[in-house]
């Protein structure tokens, strides 16, 4: 009798322990999946002055950005290693108003920067070779002007490496609204992108998708409300997003 009773208690205990282990495993797994979906923002720079136009190097380690301060009102190019938190000033020949893109040239083992230079009444898009992150004081001697934009007021610009094409929003001088243009680096030709006729201020901010098939556009009407638009570059269909 006692042996049977003991076996019963042992069996119940085993089932309870097994249930507890399984429950703990499920809770831990659920907690892990939940935590992996949590999104958060993290400050990458905390220096004095205004920081803008951040572009990450393709190696996802070096962050390039522009900085202004009371001592240096003009834009300075800076580099930060987000793994070691080491920040360095990068010397470059031109005046950078906006960093457009940073790409890696594997054949030449170089890092290329594309930037917009708007100074006084001049406007140009340039290509330059960045110095190695370890030696940021080396000034490149191969600065190349890709196109002149003095006849327009550029609002925003992006570059797609595979297409070797710049997409930009601009206002022809003394003419509203802002339109979307493309510049093919190979053919050196500008063209206006087929788009819905903008109203008011027009299309001003944009971003090209990684596959180069769509543009995300911000467009502001005469009522000062801004509409997010997705412009398909294959069929020029426009999909409207949030308005604010």
pLDDT tens digits for range 106-144: 777 888 999 999 887 789 999 999 888 878 777 777 789
* pLDDT range class, residue 6, cuts 50, 70, 90: very low
Asked if the model's pLDDT at residue 244 lies above 50, the reply is: yes
- Would the pTM of this model clear 0.95, i.e. be above it? no
The whole-angstrom separation of Cα 69 and Cα 72 is: 5
Give the dihedral sign, CA 53/58/63/67: negative
The whole-angstrom separation of Cα 97 and Cα 242 is: 29
CB of 57 closer than 8 Å to CB of 102: yes
Asked if the model's pLDDT at residue 27 lies above 70, the reply is: no
pLDDT of residue 197: 78
The whole-angstrom separation of Cα 192 and Cα 163 is: 16
- Least reliable range by pLDDT among 7-11, 166-170, 179-183, 238-242: 7-11
């Amino acid at each position: 009798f006692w042996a049977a009773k003991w076996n019963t208690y042992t069996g119940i205990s085993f089932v309870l322990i097994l249930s507890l282990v399984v429950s703990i495993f499920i809770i831990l797994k659920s907690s892990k999946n939940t935590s992996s979906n949590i999104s958060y923002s993290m400050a990458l720079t905390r220096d004095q002055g205004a920081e803008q136009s951040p572009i990450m190097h393709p190696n996802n380690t070096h962050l390039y950005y522009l900085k202004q301060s009371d001592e240096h009102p003009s834009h300075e190019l800076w580099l930060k290693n987000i793994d070691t938190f080491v920040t360095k000033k990068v010397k470059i020949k031109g005046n950078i108003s906006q960093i457009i893109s940073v790409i890696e040239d594997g054949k030449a083992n170089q890092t290329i920067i594309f930037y917009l230079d708007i100074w006084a009444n001049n406007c140009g898009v340039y290509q330059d070779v960045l110095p190695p992150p370890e030696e940021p004081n080396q000034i490149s001697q191969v600065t190349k002007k890709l196109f002149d934009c003095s006849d327009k007021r550029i609002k925003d610009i992006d570059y797609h490496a595979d297409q070797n094409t710049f997409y930009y929003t601009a206002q022809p001088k003394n003419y509203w609204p802002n339109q979307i243009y493309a510049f093919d680096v190979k053919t050196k030709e500008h063209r206006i992108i087929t788009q819905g006729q903008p109203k008011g201020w027009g299309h001003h901010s944009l971003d090209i998708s990684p596959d180069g098939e769509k543009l995300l556009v911000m467009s502001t009407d005469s009522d000062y409300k801004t509409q997010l638009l997705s412009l398909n570059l294959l069929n020029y269909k426009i999909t409207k997003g949030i308005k604010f």
